[in-house]
A and B are shown apart, each in its own frame.
Chain A
């Protein structure tokens, strides 16, 4: 049975560096994608991603498992992204490299192009979402947080989070359907 995240974080606070490595391995991918799709620039995403983990390291002694570790981790990430968004107005990127990466599996060139275009449209729709809606969607998809947990992370009402999720999903679904 795997040790829960909260126990690992407490162990790390007690000086067990190995516990941190397990914790890091569990969350690195999802957290990175959450940040990357929040800021849409890889170099900046890497910088912010590192800062978030540094804050986790610095706060190791003050950590108390009052909530899920994931909620705590993404609260730190949320605050870091909010800081970033306050300083900088994000431009919606028109093209998407990621679409090309994933659409290459189809064998038929016509279908391949269609799939690529469909995925690019989806990526643009995601990037075009308002910050709050995109963040709620990413927290749900990447971190697996419930609406209530997203509300705790972002300091919002649960109903407001549900509403953001509804709008986000509706816009993304529209981008798929209109392909």
Chain B
């Protein structure tokens, strides 16, 4: 500690000036403040300085970017589902050139019985096959039901023909064609429901 500028006489005389100390009340205040800070506030009381200054803005920016990215990703994940889900599973025998396909209010044309069986098979396959499009299965029951009712109606008309109730069968067939304008009646069924 000895410096070339040290002078023992000067140091001794300086010591004689007195050994003043802070008042004990001030000591108590400072120690209490230190204790309180240590116990109640583990985080820093001073604003970050120097190299730590950039931590908070960067952390805040990272959180915002992450939040936006997650939101966008969630939206993207939801959109393909909505797009993948067909507005309604089209009946296999619908006329392709029909404009009514664009009219959502109208009931969908039902499939004939033969096609119905095919659709049921498809549905079973869809249910069992791994990797089958999940969106398709929930949409099928409604269309099948519509196709089934059309098939049932055609069966009823065919029964009317066999029973000789041709006028009633004609009216029912006209009504059927009005209700299901796009429904293509299979040739076999056509022979049974049309007047000969």
Residues of A within 8 A of B (CB): 12, 15-17, 20-21, 24, 28-29, 32-33, 36-37, 46, 49-50, 53-54, 57-62, 96, 98-99, 101-103, 118-119, 122-123, 126, 140-141, 144, 146-147, 162, 165-166, 168-169, 172-173, 176
Contact = CB atoms under 8 A, between A and B. Distances in A.
Given A12-B34, A32-B20, A126 B14 contact: yes
A15 B34 contact: no
Given A49-B22, A146-B1, A17 B14 contact: no
Contacts of A24: 27, 30-31, 34
Contact of B46 (A49, A59, A176): A59
Given A24-B31, A165-B3, 7 more contacts: A29-B19, A46-B22, A62-B49, A98-B18, A123-B17, A168-B5, A172-B10
Main secondary structure of the interface of A (DSSP, over half): helix
Nearest to B13: A122
Given A16-B38, A24-B27, A144 B10 contact: no
Given A17-B35, A24-B31, A28-B27, A176 B10 contact: yes
A119 B21 contact: no
B21 A28 contact: yes
B61 interface: no
B9 interface: yes
27 contacts: A12-B34, A15-B39, A17-B34, A21-B31, A28-B21, A28-B27, A29-B21, A29-B22, A32-B20, A46-B26, A50-B29, A57-B45, A58-B37, A61-B43, A61-B44, A98-B20, A102-B17, A102-B18, A118-B13, A119-B13, A122-B13, A126-B17, A140-B5, A147-B3, A162-B4, A165-B3, A176-B13
